[in-house]
Structure 1
């Protein structure tokens, strides 16, 4: 297992302040989307690799029932403190995303993706797809900001839009995958917004085994 797949690597990044992925605010594409007519009905959402919780808290402010998950203790401590300080009813869980409670299976209307998929070693991408599918109710949706830069190496590990379609297409119906026009300046032209719907069959024993 590579360093980037271990909680110790990410915890050291938080402790060192080497957190360039952390905007210190909700992702502008999510903020714009939630304020638009395209926003979806409220429901229960899980934010995988939530970090300090900016995106999770944004969705909670808009009325979603939110669970944020990260395996870096400092990140979860910051997110929990921010929720308490601002009186936002969000729950934060210290856990590896691949070791979640079994009762999470099929219990979410939405999964929120921003900087988790791009932080995983590419060898874990298939497992991530099956995990997100297993967390969602039939017909639930993955709302994602994908990093689509072409630089070698990572994290963040980039993805071509065609790779995203190939990876997610069997488990999800791709409702939307399009370039993001309005983001922070250093990410212009390097992000796609995805809205992917879990295909309608019930989750399987294999999906449960991933939790």
Structure 2
């Protein structure tokens, strides 16, 4: 979208050139833990800005179909090539789409946001929240890994975030907080700068 500022060179060039410092090279540890403890809702799940897609793959199973969304054609092609032969490959898919304009045929029961919210300038964040409300089923859950709570920049992503920034956007849109806690399983370089928020979209009365 024209009003959303991309990093210098754009997301596509960052993937082409391998400038993907946010990529852990594996599934996010807290996501692995939530899957292993059966702590995630089943149904349809979405990972916007999914990057390589490790989280998409680890979350996918016969009870949970996961869609990974990316703007970068290079990223989507890479993910499909890396993961298409896995045993659970029929339970996930990767799409090159713009989160802000994409219109899926069905809504989702779970949305996982990591390194996505922090990619947007504060003035764009209300659009992010509105889309989360539109894409999630009533009673569905939004998981936000809040990073960076310190550090970050006023310039290109990642932009600094805060718990209050999420609360001010989501609570007026009928989201209620399930929990917001420190992410004890954050990678070493992100310790103390990351919380995990779990939000439920209220059901219509």
TM-score (norm 2): 0.88
1:33-72 → structure 2 map (5 Å cutoff): 33-36=34-37, 39-61=39-61, 63-72=63-72
Question: Any idea what SS the aligned residue of 2:115 has?
Answer: coil
CA contact (8 A) 1:5 1:120 kept: no
| Partner Cα distance (2:137, 2:58) in 1 | 22
Q: Is 2:7 the partner of 1:16? A: no
Q: CA deviation at 1:102?
A: 5.0
Please give the per-residue CA displacement for 1:117-140, whole angstroms capped at 9, x wherever unaligned: 111222211111110111111111
Question: Any idea what SS the aligned residue of 1:98 has?
Answer: coil
| Partner Cα distance (1:3, 1:162) in 2 | 23
Which aligned runs of 4 or more in structure 1 are off by greater than 6 angstroms?
Answer: none
Q: CA deviation at 1:24?
A: 1.1
What is aligned with 1:84?
84
Q: Is 2:137 the partner of 1:137? A: yes
What is aligned with 1:29?
30
Please give the per-residue CA displacement for 1:116-174, whole angstroms capped at 9, x wherever unaligned: 11112222111111101111111111012111422232411121112221121122111
Q: Which has the higher helix share?
A: 1
| Partner Cα distance (2:48, 2:41) in 1 | 20
Aligned length: 198
CA contact (8 A) 1:44 1:109 kept: yes
Provide closer, same or farther for how the CA distance between residues 187 and 165 of structure 1 changes in structure 2, counting only shifts above 3 A. same
Determine which of 161, 170, 174 is the counterpart of 2:177. Answer: 174
CA RMSD of the aligned region, Å?
A: 2.0
Question: Any idea what SS the aligned residue of 1:158 has?
Answer: coil
TM-score (norm 1): 0.86
| Partner Cα distance (2:5, 2:128) in 1 | 17
Determine which of 155, 166, 172 is the counterpart of 1:164. Answer: 166
What is aligned with 1:207?
none
Determine which of 191, 194, 197 is the counterpart of 1:194. Answer: 197
CA contact (8 A) 1:148 1:192 kept: no
Provide closer, same or farther for how the CA distance between residues 130 and 2 of structure 1 changes in structure 2, counting only shifts above 3 A. closer
Identify unmatched segments of 5+ residues in structure 1: 203-211
CA contact (8 A) 1:148 1:161 kept: no
| Partner Cα distance (1:69, 1:126) in 2 | 19
